[in-house]
Amino acid sequence: MAKRRRELTAVESAALDRLLQRVRYHEEQARQAARSVIAHKIEVGRLLLEAKRLLPPGQFGRWAEYTFGWSQKHCQRHMALATHATRVLQAVGPE
């Protein structure tokens, strides 16, 4: 036997509306923060690509490790973000 649904009271409906607004607000804030983080990571990648172009061949990994304590793989991830910036930002969604 199916359970019968009861109607929401005005108080419950108003409370749900307030919760809905709060969820939407926090979701938007999170999306904007994520986009900002990714934009900064992309810029780090662009700067690392520039540094790599300036350094003699084979020196970038050692330079990054010495300068930042970062592995070659860590730098490669940033540089990949920069290389694919348009696609990455599209995946995050509109500003």
Q: Is 81 exposed, middle or buried (0-12, 13-18, 19+ CB in 10 A)?
A: buried
pLDDT averaged per 10 residues in sequence order, the chain, 95 residues: 82 95 96 93 98 97 97 96 92 77
- How many angstroms separate the CA atoms of 23 and 39, rounded? 24
63 contacts 9 by C-beta, under 8 angstroms: no
pLDDT digits (tens, 9 = 90+) for 56-78: 999 999 999 999 999 999 999 99
**DSSP category for residue 55:** S
Tokens representing 13 are: 């409906």
Query: pLDDT value at position 4?
Result: 79
List Cβ neighbours of 26 (8 Å cut-off, separation of 6 or more).
Answer: none
